Chain A
Amino acid sequence: MSSLQMPKVDKSIMSNKDKIVSDIGRIIKEENILSHNDEIKPYETDALAAYRQVPLLVVLPETVKEVSEILKYCNENKIKVVPRGAGTGLSGGSLPLADCVLLAMGKFNKILELDYRNRCVVAQPCVTNLAITEAVQDKGFYYAPDPSSQIACSIGGNVAENSGGVHSLKYGATTNNLLGIEVVLMDGTVTRFGGKTMDSEGYDFLGLMTGSEGLLGVITEVTVKILKSPEVIKAALIGFPTIEDAGNCVAQIIAGGCIPAGMEIMDKALTKATNDYSKAGYPTDAEAMMIVEFDGTEHEVEDYINRVKKIAEKNNSSSLKISKTNKERLKFWAGRKAAFPACGVLAPDYMCMDGSIPRGKLAEVLKEITRLSKKYGLPVANAFHAGDGNLHPLIMFDANNKESLRKCEEFGADILKYCVKVGGALTGEHGVGIEKRELMCEAFNNTDIQQQLTIKVALDPNSLLNPGKVYPILRKCAEEGRVHIHGGKTKFPDIPRF
């Protein structure tokens, strides 16, 4: 992978390692400090595994007080800190720095309170996303945001990245389902933003912290709202002869007043690949395939499905299947969720992009991606959260061939730039991290970026908390930006993705 400039390594910190270990040893238990190379090696990367860097040391605090004291100590001694949750992030947000203390929050793994009266759950940040739903599902509740890696990703990480999921069109992303957090700032200050109430008075620091990718504070507790599970969930699997037909169908479903719980499109290449891989029963002759899911009461879902059927027919749908059972519905999704490993079969390597576009621009953007695919001579398959305009092209290449890698990187950057050009965004749900850092100036001008950096400096004047992430170091737009999967292997190959 191409090299990426990171903040300058502070040699005095490197040479002071023993003293730092002993100082932090006065704050936390000795066994919670990992400093030997064999111990810290597993922490050298997150799920953007192409980038690796062993940290100076890893600390595993157990209490908020410990987190606060560690940050205070590091702040006073100008030591960089990189926070880390479950390490499943796809944009390199918790990539360590050589001279950093990696603050691994893994021991904050307990659910603290199930509060049904106020319909919320209070949890420590390293509780997994799925564990929250599992804790409340016997009472018929669930936590709505469902990033595909929910089996492993942490709720604190979800807050840091503002994670989405296939149902965010109807239920929003993490930021819309979060009631409160406890957070420790770089100077050791412990405070709470929000709580169990809806909305807070004063500046919306909860909103600011959500999606700030660990640059503004370390989250030590999370309060999320839970929802009652819907009575019925049904999905329709629809094939279309052209991408345009599928795109028009999406626009008309939305304009017709239906807001599906989820609406996904895959192009022919991905439909075929995922169907071969998971035997999901997809219409492989269709140029585009759509999964639309509705939830609610029986009558309501029935009504919406019927409306979608009519709209699909009007847009030349070539096939249409409605799930009769929950099992069948999950089968519809099985292929979609296996998009990563399915692509792994097609090529030695692939990169997953994460651009956001206006729904109506789908056909135009896919046409451009096809053109770029020919230009660079690299095949591509496309998955699309059509409901909320989040596009995930998977570029196939061979990482052992330097030229192929270079082309792939250029191809990826061109796609993201095009997303911004048509009115979209560089990243819909994976975060900027280090991965799309150099493309930030495609979306923002210097004044915009400067304003954001001023906020960073206001809360972390020495820029010690997760430095080198999100904002370009030289503010120079290089050709970067993608998730690179080598040999079809992610850091956690068995976790469903996007």
Chain B
Amino acid sequence: MEEKQNSLIFQDFNKSVLKPTTREEISNIIKECYKKNIPIEVSCLKSKKKIGRNFQTEKTLDLSSYSGIIEYKPEELYIKAKAGTSLKEIKDELDKHNQQLAFEPVDFGPIFLGKTDEGSIGGVIACNFSGPRRFKAGSVRDHVLGFQGVNGKGEIIKSGGTVVKNVTGYDLSKLLSGSFGTLTVLTEVSVKVLPKPSLTKTLVIDNPYLLKALDYLSIALSSSSDPSGGVFYPEYFRNYFTFNDLTTEGPITAIRIEGASNSIDHRIKKLCEELKVNRNEVAILEPEQSNIFWEKTRRLEIFSELKDNLLRIVIPSNETFEVLNKLKVFDIKYFIDWGGSLIWVQIEIIDSKILRKIKEIISNANGYVTVIKIEENLKASIDVFTIDSIKYKITEKIKKSFDPKRILNPGKMYSGI
């Protein structure tokens, strides 16, 4: 039986794109790559394929045929699926039970593919990009309960499980989240799910100033009104948001309140008091428009016609104002998420020198910059991710412990990793 399975793999193995349908096939393919020193690109629905460094491999492991929900237990608050399962399939299933993935995965589809596409659950975990609810609900990695996968030697490994409380051994689920497929090919993942809030409304404050907006967001995030979203859109993005409820003018300072239906109005009222704003200085987006607003934010819709370069900057929120001041000299457009600590920056003209300068500004503010999109001809000469020499050494050691021959997505994150 084993021989037959292997011969099947060998036959397929000659193709450049391999589309396995079982975990054993995945394991056999990687074993073969390991044996023959063949690097392989781990890929699935390609919604985030362009994030990361360019690298060349002889083969591609396409996980899109390894898909399907394995087990969904609403009352146990988890869903277990094959890594290639599309997020759409998962969300449709969760919708039936009024549950959701609370980390709100960022949808890069509009930027890279011109249409909404959140990719696969494996890809979402491998990239670890979380949406507006991040500061309240945690990021993708906080919701991964366990996984099975294939390491760079072709061995099937697992960690975690389906229960939330589990401190048995190292927490490899976290280590693999955001590792861009460079450590292990995820094959099955168990993810925590949560009930959807009964009601969502959004408070928009009439305010033209960035500094004031950051103050509002900061006060809101430190409020017992417990908001679940806080963004600032400068005026130039205003026309992406044409809502009847949006009666304020100019830039948008928006705070999302969600939860039990009967608590929302009370919390908004209390928040207005804390922010010292009157009813005539605010607009309230009612549930339907509120949901659309945050979907647009999660999908980065304002960048949907983006031709330029896009940077993702994460910094402590007290640094945001100063950082944006310093970035003014470059031709940028930006919006602020995570209540002040995430800045999405669109920059028209960039070269490696400008990027270095920006990285320096951000690093001095104790934050980091990830290059999400950049002109192809520049990609080879810049660092998509940033790493210091000590962490590089540690990264190298960890990479080696999972993938000793460096065959999984080699060079995707850093040169030499």
Contact = CB atoms under 8 A, between A and B. Distances in A.
Report the interface size class on chain A.
Answer: 35 or more
A199 B135 CA distance: 10
A252 B151 CA distance: 39
Contacts of A257: 98, 195-196, 198
A158 to B, nearest CB: 11
Given A207-B141, A303-B263, A359-B76, A162 B171 contact: yes
Interface stretch (A44-52, A188-196, A484-492): A188-196
A92 B164 CA distance: 23
A173 to B, nearest CB: 7
Nearest to B174: A207
Interface string B314-327: 11111000000000
B165 interface: yes
B395 A443 contact: no
A324 interface: no
B178 A202 contact: yes
Interface in B243-269: 259-263, 266-267
- The winner among A161, A299, A431 for most chain B CB atoms within 10 A is A299
A117 B167 contact: no
A259 B137 CA distance: 13
- The winner among A168, A202, A296, A426 for most chain B CB atoms within 10 A is A202
Interface stretch (B5-13, B275-283, B362-370): B362-370
Nearest to A461: B397
Interface in B369-407: 370, 385-387, 390-391, 393-395, 397-398, 400-402
B68 interface: no
Given A197-B366, A202-B178, A297-B225, A448 B165 contact: no
A176 interface: yes
Given A360-B76, A432-B168, A196 B316 contact: yes
Interface stretch (B38-46, B56-64, B154-162): B154-162
Contact of B368 (A189, A200, A255): A200
A203 B124 CA distance: 15
B17 to A, nearest CB: 27
Nearest to A228: B224
A141 to B, nearest CB: 8
Contact of B316 (A118, A162, A191, A459): A118
A211 interface: yes
B243 to A, nearest CB: 26
Contacts of A176: 138, 142
A202 B391 contact: yes
Q: B interface, by DSSP: helix, strand, loop or mixed?
A: mixed
A210 B398 CA distance: 16
Interface stretch (B84-92, B215-223, B234-242): B215-223
B172 interface: yes
A229 B226 CA distance: 10
A319 to B, nearest CB: 24
Interface string A16-48: 000000000000000000000000000000000
A259 B156 CA distance: 35
Interface string A445-473: 00111011011011100000000001100
B116 interface: no
Nearest to A174: B167
Interface in A283-317: 296-300, 302-304
- The winner among B76, B97, B159, B198 for most chain A CB atoms within 10 A is B76
B394 A168 contact: no
Given A118-B318, A200-B368, A299 B260 contact: yes
Enumerate the 3 nearest inter-chain pairs by beta-carbon distance, A residue then B residue, closest first.
A207-B174, A257-B195, A428-B165
12 contacts: A115-B316, A191-B390, A198-B314, A205-B175, A210-B174, A228-B222, A356-B161, A356-B163, A359-B75, A424-B163, A448-B158, A458-B398
Interface of A: 115-119, 140-141, 161-162, 164, 168-169, 172-173, 175-176, 185, 189, 191, 195-208, 210-212, 216, 228-231, 251-252, 254-255, 257-259, 296-300, 302-304, 356-360, 385, 388-390, 423-432, 436, 440, 443-444, 447-449, 451-452, 454-455, 457-459, 470-471
